[in-house]
Amino acid sequence: MSMVFIAVTALVLLSLVFGAILGFAAVRFRVEGNPIAEQINALLPQTQCGQCGYPGCKPYAEAIASGEKINKCPPGGEATIQALAELLDVEPEPLDAVEGEKPQMVAFIREAECIGCTKCIQACPVDAILGAAKQMHTVIVSECTGCDLCVEPCPVDCIDMIPVAGTLQSWKWEHPLPPGTLIATDREALK
């Protein structure tokens, strides 16, 4: 009888102790906000272009966290979809965009035509356009994310989106053909 009593007491005490520890941990190490949305946001390209239909990358990250599809980010492209699929453990889907994946673009203001209306400055989500009212505007290339939000508000259509020119530093080696995809007799034809 006393054995049973001791066992029960021990278990009760243990559960009390662990309950207290868990309760303390729940309060002490409480995670503010939704950590998964934060992780998703870290994978998005932060162009803030709104092409996904959300007003920025963070809202889209939050939407993904609550069940939105992961294939709505054209600037991120396949790489982002892959990364998101891996993070969320879902099947990667093809990119949901009319024009598909685009190369990295940068905005360019034809300065001679700029009338200094500041509309593009207000549209730029990352403050990458420099200028003032009735003064010529220009794009800070290193800060431009290529979101093309500045193109539409321009009343004189003097903003072009041009693909970023590759430099020696940004040049990449090509991936070789996977082994077995090319046989010796085909090589001559390839040349």
Contacting another protein (CB under 8 A), which of 71, 84, 131, 145? 145
Nearer to another protein, 28 or 187 (CB): 187
Q: In whole angstroms, give the CA distance from residue 116 to residue 132.
A: 7
User: With binding defined as CB under 8 A, does residue 91 bind another protein?
Assistant: no
Least distance between another protein and beta carbon 42 (Å): 8
Rounded to whole angstroms, the Cα distance separating 145 from 75 reads: 9
The one among 89, 91, 99, 127 contacting another protein by CB under 8 A: 127
Size of the site for another protein (CB under 8 A): 44
Q: Is 153 in the site for another protein (CB under 8 A)?
A: no
* Calpha distance 59→39 (Å, rounded): 13
- Sign of the dihedral defined by the CA atoms of residues 54, 60, 63, 67, in that order: positive
Residue 135 C-beta: closest distance to another protein, Å: 20
Measure the CA–CA gap between 165 and 182, rounded to whole angstroms.
32
> Restricting to residues 26-65, which ones interact with another protein according to CB under 8 A?
32-34, 37-38, 41, 44-48, 56-57, 59, 62-63
| Residue 52: other Cβ atoms inside 10 A | 25
Sign of CA dihedral 110, 116, 119, 125: positive
Q: Which is it for strands 105-109 and 159-163: parallel, antiparallel or unpaired?
A: antiparallel
Q: Decide if residue 92 touches another protein (CB under 8 A).
A: no
Q: Does 128 bind another protein (CB under 8 A)?
A: yes
Q: State yes or no: residue 94 binds another protein (CB under 8 A).
A: no
CB 118 within 8 A of CB 154: no
Which residues lie near another protein (CB under 8 A)? 32-34, 37-38, 41, 44-48, 56-57, 59, 62-63, 66, 79, 82, 125-128, 143, 145, 166-168, 170-180, 182-184, 186-187
